[in-house]
A and B are shown apart, each in its own frame.
Chain A
Amino acid sequence: MKKLSVNHLLGIKYLKEEDIHLIFKTADHFKEVINRPIKKVPSLRDITIANLFFENSTRTKLSFELAEKRLSADVINFSTSHSSLNKGETLIDTVKNILAMKVDIVVMRHPNPGAALFLSKNVDACIINAGDGTHEHPSQALLDVFSIKEKLGDIKGKKIAIVGDILHSRVALSNIFALKMLGAEVRLCGPKSLIPKHIHSLGVSFSTNFIETLKWCDAVNMLRIQNERMDSNYFPSNREYSQLYGLNQKKLKLIKKEIFILHPGPINRGVEITSDVADSENAIILDQVENGVAVRMALIYLLVAKLNIPQV
C-alpha cells in the first residue's frame, strides 16, 4: 500500500505530488467519518500526541486537537504562557522532557522559521509543523487546496490568486508550493511593500491591480494583515489598504463572474474582506475549517503509519 515519502510534516516543499494526492484521498474518507452521528474511530488508541504552541492559535490548535481526539489518540497540550520556557529552558530540553513521557508525535507552532526542521533533527519523534514563523504552515495549505479542489474539481490549470500580506504569510508560501505542485497557476496581488523580493523564482506571477486579478482567477485566498509581525509601516492606513485590496460586494459585482473566496482566519472584518462577502455563499471559509479537521486526521493517520511498528 502507498505511504507518505516523509516521516515528518515540516513543510509542503518536502512533500511530493503523490503525497498530497494520498493525503487528500485519505481525507475524503475522514470527512465521511466526521459527518457520522458518532464521529470517532479507534485507529490511534495507542498513540500519544503533544501539541506545543509557542505562539497564539485558536483554529489550528482546536483543529489539531479535535483531529487527534477523533482518531482516539491521547492528547497533551502546552502553551508558552504556562510553561518553563519563561524559566529559561531551551526548546530541545522542553521537547526532550515531553518525549520522556513517551509521546509519539509532536505538533508544534513556533515563532522562529525553521524551528520544526531544527527539532526533527535533534529529537527522536515525528514532528508536524503547525506554523513556523513566516516560513511554512503546511496543514493550512493542504486544507486550503483540498477545499479549492472540492469546489473546482481538479487543481491542474486552475487560476488561484493570493491577495494581501504575502511578505509575512507562512500560509502564502505553503499555498504557493502546494498549488504549483498540483499544476495550478498562481498570481499574487497586494501592495509592493508586502511582496517579498525574488518571489518570481517560485514560478508565480504578480500584480498590483486587484480588480484585474479578481477577473483572472477562479478562486481567491484573502490573507490576513499580520499587524503583529509588522515592524514598520508597510502601507499608509488600514482604510487605504481596504479601499485598494479589500474584497467587497461592489468589486465582486464589477468582475461579473463567480469566484470562490478563501480566508485562513482570523478575519479582520472590514480590512481585507467585508462582512457581507465573508458571509456570502461563495465564501468557503467555514468549509475550510471543516475540511481542516479531516485533512489533519489524514495527515496524522498517515504519519503514524510510518512510525516504528510496536514490538509486543
Chain B
Amino acid sequence: MSPKILLSSKKIDIILNRLACQLIEKYSDFSQVILVGLQPRGIFLLDRILLILEKKFSLGKVISGKLDITFFRDDFRRFNKTLSASSSQMEFTIEGKSVVIIDDVLFTGRSIRAALTALDNYGRPKDIQLLVLIDRRFSRDLPIQPDFIGAQVDALEGDKVRVHWNDNKQDNIVFIEKN
C-alpha cells in the first residue's frame, strides 16, 4: 500500500514559520534559550527552525545543540536489534537556561523521557519545553505532552508516521505508512 501524504511541503513551510513565531512570542530574550535537537531525526527540524529564526527574523546566533539519547533509552535489549548511536554536540551547560527539546514526531514519549535524563548531565535548566512537528495523539506511554505542536495526527498503533526531509530544504513531506 502506498504511503498517504499528510502534510505537503507548502503546509510544512507554513507550520515551521508558525513554530518559529511561537518561540519568539514565548521567549523575548534568546540569549537565555537553548534549542536542542534530538538525534537522529530531530536535528533536521532544528536546522530549519534555526534558519528561520536567524535569517528571516534576524535574531543573530541562537544557541543550539544536538543530543544523542541512545545510551539513555529504556528499550536497550528489549528488541532484537542493537541501538546504534549518533554524535552529540552540546558544547555548553544548560544551567539556568530555558531549553527547548526539538523532535520531529512525538509518539510514545519514551524518547523524550530519555532526553530529559540525558539533559540532566548538562546542568539544571530553568525550564524545559518540547517542540514537535507531529504529535501522534492518544498514543502516549508516559505523561509527556508537547508545548509547541506543528500538527496533530491520529494514527493506528501499528502505523508509521514519518517526516521526509529533503536535502535542498524544500519538498519536505509528512506521510503515513500503514502496517
- The smallest beta-carbon distance between A261 and chain B, in angstroms, is 29
* Pair B77/A1 contact, Cβ less than 8 Å: no
* Pair A1/B82 contact, Cβ less than 8 Å: yes
Given contacts A1-B83, A309-B77, A309-B79, contact A29 B68 (CB under 8 A): yes
Question: Which chain B residues border A33 with CB–CB below 8 Å?
Answer: 71
For this complex, into which size category does the number of interface residues on chain B fall?
20 to 34
Given contacts A37-B122, A305-B76, A307-B77, contact A42 B117 (CB under 8 A): yes
Question: Which chain B residues border A46 with CB–CB below 8 Å?
Answer: 77
Question: Which chain A residues border B70 with CB–CB below 8 Å?
Answer: 29
User: Which chain B residues numbered 81 to 97 have a C-beta less than 8 Å away from chain A?
Assistant: 81-88, 93
* Pair A41/B77 contact, Cβ less than 8 Å: no
Given contacts A37-B121, A41-B72, contact A310 B77 (CB under 8 A): yes
Alpha-carbon distance between A253 and B85 when the two chains are bound, in angstroms: 43
| B80 contacts A by Cβ under 8 Å | yes
| A48 contacts B by Cβ under 8 Å | no
User: Which chain B residues numbered 79 to 132 have a C-beta less than 8 Å away from chain A?
Assistant: 79-88, 93, 117, 120-122
* Pair A3/B72 contact, Cβ less than 8 Å: no
* Pair A1/B81 contact, Cβ less than 8 Å: yes
| A38 contacts B by Cβ under 8 Å | yes
List the A residue with the shortest CB-CB distance to B89: A32
List the A residue with the shortest CB-CB distance to B118: A41
| A179 contacts B by Cβ under 8 Å | no
* Pair A309/B78 contact, Cβ less than 8 Å: yes
Chain B, residues 59-72, CB within 8 Å of chain A (1/0): the string is 00000000010111
List the B residue with the shortest CB-CB distance to A310: B77
- The smallest beta-carbon distance between A46 and chain B, in angstroms, is 8
Question: Which chain B residues border A37 with CB–CB below 8 Å?
Answer: 93, 121-122
* Pair B79/A36 contact, Cβ less than 8 Å: no
* Pair A302/B82 contact, Cβ less than 8 Å: yes
| A2 contacts B by Cβ under 8 Å | yes
* Pair B80/A309 contact, Cβ less than 8 Å: yes
* Pair A26/B121 contact, Cβ less than 8 Å: no
* Pair B72/A42 contact, Cβ less than 8 Å: yes
* Pair A305/B77 contact, Cβ less than 8 Å: yes
* Pair A38/B120 contact, Cβ less than 8 Å: yes
- The smallest beta-carbon distance between B99 and chain A, in angstroms, is 16
- The smallest beta-carbon distance between A283 and chain B, in angstroms, is 28
List the A residue with the shortest CB-CB distance to B81: A1
* Pair B77/A26 contact, Cβ less than 8 Å: no
Question: Which chain A residues border B68 with CB–CB below 8 Å?
Answer: 29
Chain A, residues 1-44, CB within 8 Å of chain B (1/0): the string is 11100000000000000000000001011001100111001110
Alpha-carbon distance between A46 and B78 when the two chains are bound, in angstroms: 12
Alpha-carbon distance between A304 and B71 when the two chains are bound, in angstroms: 13
Alpha-carbon distance between A71 and B72 when the two chains are bound, in angstroms: 10
* Pair A43/B71 contact, Cβ less than 8 Å: yes
* Pair B72/A2 contact, Cβ less than 8 Å: no
* Pair A29/B87 contact, Cβ less than 8 Å: yes
Chain A, residues 146-178, CB within 8 Å of chain B (1/0): the string is 000000000000000000000000000000000
Q: A29-B70, A29-B87 are in contact. List 16 more A-B contacts (CB 8 A).
A: A2-B82, A3-B82, A28-B87, A29-B68, A29-B71, A29-B85, A37-B121, A38-B120, A38-B121, A41-B71, A43-B72, A43-B76, A46-B77, A305-B76, A309-B77, A310-B77
Can you spell out 19 A-B residue pairs with CB atoms less than 8 angstroms apart? A1-B81, A1-B82, A1-B83, A26-B84, A28-B87, A29-B71, A29-B87, A36-B121, A37-B121, A42-B72, A42-B117, A46-B77, A302-B82, A304-B77, A305-B76, A305-B77, A309-B78, A310-B77, A310-B78
Binding site for A on B (CB under 8 A): 68, 70-72, 76-88, 93, 117, 120-122
Binding site for B on A (CB under 8 A): 1-3, 26, 28-29, 32-33, 36-38, 41-43, 46, 71, 301-302, 304-305, 307, 309-310
**Leading 9 A-B pairs by shortest Cβ distance:** A41-B71, A38-B121, A29-B85, A305-B82, A1-B81, A1-B82, A43-B71, A1-B84, A3-B82
